Every structure is written in C-alpha cells, then in structure tokens.
Amino acid sequence: MLPSLNTNNSQKTEVVFVEVNHAQVNQRLDNFLLKTLKNVPKSRIYRIIRKGEVRVNKKRCKPDYKLGMGDLVRIPPLRLEQQDDTEIYIPVNRINDIEKAILFENKHLLVIDKPTGLAVHSGTGISFGVIDIMRRMRPQTEIELVHRLDRDTSGCLLLAKHRQSLLAMQACMQNNSLKKTYVAVVKGRWPKHKQELTHALKKTTLANGERRVYVDVAGQKALTRITQIDPGDDFSHLTIQILTGRTHQIRVHCQFEGHEIAGDSKYGDAKFNKLMKKRGAGRLMLHASRLELPSTDFSQEIVINADLPAAFENLVKK
C-alpha cells in the first residue's frame, strides 16, 4: 500500500501496485481508492480514474469496476496532504439516535432505520456518515455497508459485521433472495397499468465526484416493480420493489415516467416540490420500509420493517 507519512509537510508518492486480496474482492474501484488514499480529495480520485492514470491489470477502468481476486491496481504518483490524526467529531446525540434506530442485530448483521439527511459514509463536505458512526459504536467489528441508501432516503439499511457476512448478503442481493421494499410519494396520478419499469440506466460521474444517472438503452439493466398504487390527483403513494440495485434507480425511473418523487432536488420537479413542502413534505419522499432476509449461515429468515416517517403519515391524514 502507500507509504505511511510521518511528516508535517505534504509528500508526493511513487507509483504503487496493489494486488487485490480476498478482503477486497467485489469492491468498486472508486471505493477501494477512497479507502486506500484517505488523504487524497475525492474529486482528485475520480479525476485520476477518468484520465486513465489508475489501471487495473494494465487497463483503464470505470469507477464502478468490481475488483477481482488477484487484480493488480496501479496507483499513480500523488501528492498527499498532511496526515490529520484527529478523531472525527460525531455529536453524542447523533450516536444515541442511531443506537435507538437499530431494528435488528445479531453476531453477523445489523439493520438500522436510517434517518433522512444522513449520508451512509463521509465524502466531500460530509465529515461522517452511518458507517463512521457504527464503527465508533461497534469498534470490535469490521462493519461494512451491504448496500447504500441516498443521503435523503430513510429506512432499512443493512450492514455486515465481517467480510463473510458481507459477501453472503451481497450474493443474496444478486439472486434476489434478499428483498427490499420502498414507499414513495410521486407527482400526479400514477397509472394503474404501469407496474414494471425496465428502463436501462447509465451512470456518469462529474468532475467533483457527483454521480448522475439517466435512462439510456446502452446502460445497465434495471427492473423496478410497483406492487401497490394509491393514486391521487396531485400525488400518488407507491409501494415499490427493486430487483436490481442501480444507483438512484427508483428516482430516475419515476422521473422518466413523468412522475418525479416529491422533494427530489436532483431529479425532481421544482414546482411540485414547492407544493408538497407546503403540505408538510419538505424532504425526499422515499423510504426503505421493509427488508426481507433469507435463511443463511448468518441469519434466519426474517422480515424487518421501518415505520413510515411523519411526513408520509401526515399526507395520508390530509
């Protein structure tokens, strides 16, 4: 790995080659680099990937490339900033809130009801996220995210306490034996016949590391299933299952259908968002309400539910 820096000055590294080991298999290239190059700005990491300065087995790769056992990753010379060993400040009340939000926990896995507005991990302008809080709370474990939720999406978030359970749960996601259900409030009257969305999705990463997704026939397969529709004149409530875990999948599928999710600042309708805010829905109206874990070596078959947040309940009452 990169040499440790025991200096108060910035230092430029040499070219480094890292062979992927068992613990790093199936990690995305960008996430691998973010962990490896902790003192390098996120925007710089995405830039060196985009320019081809990072190579995997001598080939250029995209940020979402999944690393395989024995892959050789070339990391170019980089200027690392001064090490800051100061522990990240996490407010005590935030730690207490997350402790209370635990819905399920055993020796291998943990599920929390993630609040809206909290990122799953730190990043540009974000000093800490769920993963940082959980590692502070459970220092004797190797907690990793099994999947992600967008910062403003609330609800069931699954974490693994060690590498074996992480790989097992990710395999369950790939074969759809682990089921995730969401509820959403969308613009307008959703048509009753529209129950499956299969638009392929393509992802692009901006220079600052921000991810954007759009419908493109050349993109990755994406399947969203609408299992319940409660239509209204101005907005509709949907119950949704996703059978593929693409970035921003539900948000982009709804946008493409002309029924943007309320409160979506990235893919939403500004006029609709303003109207819904007046009705008490001033957040992204997307909630991971249910998680169904299959029977594995790391868990019994179990259904975990996250109660609807007040913003959803208030709309039902009106």
**CATH number, domain with residue 30:** 3.10.290.10
Residues 67 and 115 in one domain: no
262, 235 Cβ separation under 8 angstroms: yes
Q: What is the CATH number of the domain that holds 159?
A: 3.30.2350.10
Identify the domain boundary among 163, 193, 211. 163
Q: Of the residues 45, 77, 109, which one is the last residue of a structural domain?
A: 77
Are 181 and 301 contained in the same domain? yes
Greater confidence (285 vs 141) lies with 285
- The answer to whether position 144 is within a domain reads yes
Q: Are 219 and 282 found together in one domain? A: yes
End-to-end C-alpha distance for the chain, whole angstroms: 57
Mean pLDDT on 49-59: 93
Kindly give the pairing relationship between strand 154-160 and strand 286-293: parallel
Report residue 187 as tokens: 């613009």
Q: How confident is the model at residue 86 (pLDDT cuts 50, 70, 90)?
A: low
Q: 75-79, 194-198, 285-289 — which is least confidently predicted?
A: 75-79
Q: What is the mean pLDDT of residues 137-162?
A: 92
What's the mean per-residue pLDDT of the chain? 88
Question: Is the domain of 296 the same as that of 185?
Answer: yes
**pLDDT tens per residue, range 270-281:** 999 999 999 989
Catalytic residues: 150
* 6 domain residue, yes or no: no
Contacts by 95-101, CB closer than 8 A, 24 or more apart:
95/133, 95/136, 95/137, 98/130, 98/133, 98/134, 98/137, 99/137
Q: What is the 3-state secondary structure (H, E, C) of the chain?
A: CCCCCCCCCCEECCCEEEECCHHHCCCEHHHHHHHHCCCCCHHHHHHHHHCCCCEECCECCCCCCECCCCCEEEECCCEECCCCCCCCCCCHHHHHHHHHCEEEECCCEEEEEECCCCCCCCECCECCCHHHHHHHHCCCCCCEECCCCCCCCEEEEEEECCHHHHHHHHHHHHCCCCEEEEEEEEECCCCCCCCEECCCEEEEECCCCCEEEEECCCCECCCEEEEEEECCCCEEEEEEEECCCCCCHHHHHHHHCCCCECCCCCCCCHHHHHHHHHCCCCCCCEEEEEEEECCECCECCEEEECCCCHHHHHHHHC
CA distance 260 to 270: 10
Does a structural domain hold residue 73?
yes
| pLDDT score recorded for residue 39 | 74
Q: Looking at residue 199, what is its pLDDT?
A: 96
**pLDDT of 306 strictly over 90:** yes
**Residue 205, pLDDT score:** 78
By DSSP bridging, strand 286-293 and strand 102-105 are unpaired
Structurally, the chain folds into a number of domains equal to 3
Q: With pLDDT > 90 as the criterion, what percentage of the chain qualifies? A: 63
Residues 131 and 207 in one domain: no
| Band (44; pLDDT cuts 50, 70, 90) | confident
Q: Classify residue 83: in a domain, yes or no.
A: no
Chain centroid, CA 296 distance in Å: 23
Q: Which of 86-95, 103-112, 222-231 is the least confident region?
A: 86-95
Residue 188 and residue 303 in one domain: yes
216 and 273: one domain? yes
Strand bridging mode 72-75 / 144-145: unpaired
- 83 pLDDT exceeds 50? no
**172 lies in some domain:** no
**Statement: residue 294 has pLDDT above 60:** yes
Q: Which residues contact 254 (CB under 8 A, 6 or more apart)?
A: 184, 186, 260, 261, 267
Q: Which domain holds residue 300?
A: 177-317
Q: Please indicate, yes or no, whether residues 307 and 197 belong to a single structural domain of this protein.
A: yes
Query: Is the pLDDT at 84 greater than 60, yes or no?
Result: no
Same domain for 55 and 159, yes or no, is no
Contacts of 305 (CB under 8 A, 6+ apart): 103, 156, 289, 290
- Quick one: 151 and 271 in the same domain? no
User: Of 104 and 35, which is predicted with more confidence?
Assistant: 104
Tens of pLDDT along 167-192?
A: 899 999 989 999 999 999 999 999 99
Question: Same domain, yes or no, for 181 and 276?
Answer: yes
Residues 245 and 312 in one domain: yes
